[in-house]
Copies of this chain bind each other. A is one copy, B any other.
Amino acid sequence: MTPDEFRHYGHEAVDWIAGYLENPGRYPVFPKVEPGELIDALPKCAPEKGEPVEKLLEDFRSLVVPGMTHWNHPGFMAYFAITGSGPGILGEMLSAALNVNGMLWRTSPAATELEQVALGWLRQWIGLPDNFFGIIYDTASISSMHAIAAARELAEPEARVRGGTGNLTLYTSEQAHSSIEKGAIAIGIGQRNVRKIPVDEAFRMRVDLLEEAIEKDLAAGLRPFCVAATVGTTSTTSVDPLDPIADLTERHNLWLHVDAAYGGGAAILPEFQHILAGARRADSVVTNPHKWLFTPADLSAFFTRRPDILRRAFSLIPEYLRTPDQPRAVNFMDYGVQLGRRFRALKLWFVMRYFGREGVSELIRKHIGWAQELASWIDADARFERSAPAPFSVVCFRLKGSDDDNRRLLDRVNASGEVFLSHTALHGRFVLRLAIGNIATTHAHVERAWELVRQAV
């Protein structure tokens, strides 16, 4: 593609994006498609000869876009309602063009250093001290897997050479994200060595039961090595009590990992910074700017007080990647599984600068405020009940009735195409989840969502 062609179609793509972002609500948030529809509509084989760009963009608009679930839709209130933002998209465009692999300082000094700078800024915003080293991974799943692997390295340094022994035990709450258990499975800890500690009435890890579980495992000759606490669990956004947990992990010399993939966003607000106060005592913390910091996916920010341990777990330098030692040159490939590292820091740096801390805080504060308002509406409607506290921007609630009543309610609401909610299970019951976090969502959209829910009863 010649530069002129790129200029021409690049402008066309930008215009499409601008038009799309002007009103992502024009599409149903969840598309009216059946599985296999797009597959059936496309050729079974790639073309032998190249096709004109017009055709690509036309198929994108007419076949792909109508089959998307629109995460940009202001009525997208499912899972965690993540969104990008204009400056984030600009960052991704430029990164895609530069297309560097930041595995070594040498393979792109500016990409490496901008990652250090942007993560230093973010670290300050969420109130972590400067002895935390920052690195960008793709997802919180991978960040947490690295945390668990680093914890293993600390507890059982011989595992790197000898392989797993199958007697290390990991503790997390029964409300923790599935990625903690999956990470433990992946690195060979074993599912039966993952203790899912029960939670209190606010879905927070029960520290007394955590202590009991650790003591019991120690007595049984097992080797507790890691506690993964959560700030903003996936179902209810509950916050585990970090300080009492840190008391335990310090006493037993366990790695404390804090999964703040979602909740870390809120910690940017002065009035919410206390939620990560205990994380200063953690060994590692993950927060995802691609969740609640208006940064396009993927970008997971991982911080650790023990970069030496992380590096000992993962460093492996073949001759073809050996570069001269330079004290200030960080080679991020030494700190993880992935050798390939695209230039993700740019979009985060753009987002943080474009909005500033005030701009970001204002948006997040609104999201939290609207969720609190919605919670009060639910509390005031006798047909509904709230299923959990709503400390941030997610509200869990249900119709007083059977699980099937609630399933049908959710289906009817989502069939509107105006809003997309998700669900979870709490105390074994089916619960609706309404998550606010989309940059396009306004107070009116939250009102409309509640109206749709009430109408669907």
In the complex, whether A416 has a CB less than 8 A from a CB of chain B is: no
* Closest chain B residue to A84, Cβ basis: B99
Binds B, one of A135-143, A200-208, A243-251, A375-383: A135-143
Contact check, B179 vs A159: say whether CB atoms are below 8 A apart.
no
List residues of A (285-319) whose CB comes within 8 Å of B's CBs. Answer: 290, 296-298, 300, 313-314, 316-319
| A71 at interface, CB cutoff 8 A | yes
Tell whether A369 is near chain B: CB-to-CB under 8 Å: no
Closest to A235 in B: B320
CB pair A19 B3 closer than 8 Å: yes
Q: Which residues of A from 173 to 188 have beta carbons under 8 Å from B?
A: 177-179, 181-183, 185-188
Decide yes or no whether A64 CB sits under 8 A from chain B: yes
Q: Is A219 an interface residue (CB 8 A)?
A: no
* Candidates B15, B108, B327, B329; contact of A68 at CB < 8 Å: B108
Are B339 and A141 in contact, with the CB atoms below 8 A?
A: yes
- For chain A, the bracket of interface size reads 35 or more
Take A51-B353, A320-B79 as given contacts and tell me if A11 and B11 are in contact as well, using a CB distance cutoff of 8 Å.
yes
Pick the interface stretch among A42-50, A275-283, A442-450: A42-50
A83 within 8 A of B: yes
A186 near B185: Cβ-Cβ < 8 Å: no
Query: Are B320 and A424 closer than 8 Å at their CB atoms?
Result: yes
Q: What's the minimum C-beta distance from A111 to chain B, rounded to whole angstroms?
A: 7
Q: How many copies does the complex hold?
A: 2
Is A328 within 8 A of B97, CB to CB? Answer: no
Complex Cα spacing A177 to B353, Å: 39
Contact of A140 among B13, B45, B328, B340 (CB under 8 A): B340
A53 / chain B contacts, CB cutoff of 8 Å? 87, 90, 354
A111 to B318, CA, bound (A): 36
* Selected contact of A357 from candidates B37, B48, B84, B88, CB within 8 Å: B48
For chain A residues 48-70, which have a beta carbon within 8 Å of chain B? 48-51, 53, 55-57, 60, 63-70
Q: Is A417's CB within 8 Å of the partner chain B?
A: no
Task: Please provide the chain A residues from 96 to 146 with a CB less than 8 Å away from any CB of chain B in the complex.
Answer: 96-101, 105-111, 113-114, 116-117, 120-122, 124-125, 138-142, 145
Q: Which stretch of A163-171, A209-217, A252-260, A385-393 is in the interface?
A: A163-171
- Residues in B with CB closer than 8 Å to A46 are 121-122, 124-125, 352-353, 356-357
**Complex CA distance for A235 and B318, rounded to whole angstroms:** 10
**With A21-B97, A356-B48 known to touch, is A117 a contact of B38 (CB < 8 Å)?**
yes
A155 beta carbon closer than 8 Å to chain B: no
B186 A187 Cβ-Cβ under 8 A: yes
Are A316's CB and B182's CB within 8 A? yes
* Cβ-defined contact, A165 with B162, below 8 A: no
